[in-house]
Structure 1
Amino acid sequence: MIDIRVATKNDIESMMSSRLEMLKVVNNLSEDYEFSDEMINESRDYFLNGDHITVLALDGDIVIGCASMSFIRIMPTFYHLTGKRAHLMNVYTRNEYRRQGIAQKMVELLIEKTWEKGATEISLDATELGRPLYEKIGFTDSTECMVLTKI
């Protein structure tokens, strides 16, 4: 039976291994790809000290999926009186466990916890593979946001 639960700081090694595995798969990197020390150290620091909730999907002791919600607070607006917003990231299920509703259960748990924390908006960057899941849950495309990325 698959267990889906909120991770704690004691799960740091599971969170790290799952994130690095997800990054390799999503970015088509080789199995033996070596991440920079900065990527590893900053990811570890975020899991330990960042404002987030991460959930893990486990088959026994084996991590088969993960998903994270990162929280930000901006100045309140008329539509977001608390200024609390969230960004869904790193939704990943190992290939052999896909199409079983695991990702949906992880995301729904994160959404529930996010509303409990008082956030009024959740954003995400969807891959083509993930888009049908997010639409099924109720996410819609937004036309209100522009971004500037430092290169």
Structure 2
Amino acid sequence: MEYRKLQTSDIDAFVENRIEFVTLIRNIENVELFREKTREYIETYINSDNLIIYIAMENKNIVASCMLCIFQTIPLPSNYSGKVGELLNVYTKQEYRKQGHSKKLIKLLMDEARKKGVSKIILNYTDEGYHLYKSLGFKEIDTQMEYKL
């Protein structure tokens, strides 16, 4: 198994991997538009400090992945740097689960995020991923809300 950062040549495969994951957990109203916007975002930010993507490759196929979108907010008492990462799309193909691939990728991603000055990572979890995140030290917060514009 090869664990590494996403490269430009991997974008198409990663986009399909992301589509596979997201369609497993929710309905996508317009898959083609979602695919197009995902590709556009990754192409724009892959070489920036705002996006980190790690993949696990076997036989030239992505079998696991995770990404962190980094943004800046005002410093908070819980986050003096104001740099926040949102962990998204932690996904391992069914036949590769329970072998530690996601945990390895998240640790690589967290190390890089720390070097980039990120001091807080947030995520939305599924029931299936809950224990993985707890084992990595993530803590539940229940005071967050959202409003869609």
Shared fold per TM-score greater than 0.5: yes
Q: Shift of residue 34 of structure 1?
A: 8.6
Quote the residue 2:59 is aligned against. 60
Q: Shift of residue 14 of structure 1?
A: 1.6
The TM-score normalised by the length of structure 2 is 0.89
Aligned length: 145
Unpaired segments ≥5 residues, structure 2: none
- Residue 17 (1) aligns with residue 12 (2): no
Stretches (4+) displaced over 4 A: none
Is residue 75–residue 83 contact of structure 1 (8 Å, CA) maintained in 2?
Answer: yes
Quote the residue 1:4 is aligned against. 3
Q: SS where residue 88 of structure 1 aligns?
A: strand
Quote the residue 2:126 is aligned against. 127
The TM-score normalised by the length of structure 1 is 0.88
Identical aligned residues as a percent = 26
Match for 1:103: what amino acid? S
Quote the residue 1:89 is aligned against. 88
Match for 1:40: what amino acid? R
- Residue 39 (1) aligns with residue 34 (2): yes
**1:146 aligned residue (140, 144, 147):** 144
Unpaired segments ≥5 residues, structure 1: none
Equivalent-residue separation in structure 1 for 2:11 and 2:97 (angstroms):
24
Equivalent-residue separation in structure 1 for 2:32 and 2:16 (angstroms):
14
Quote the residue 1:49 is aligned against. 44
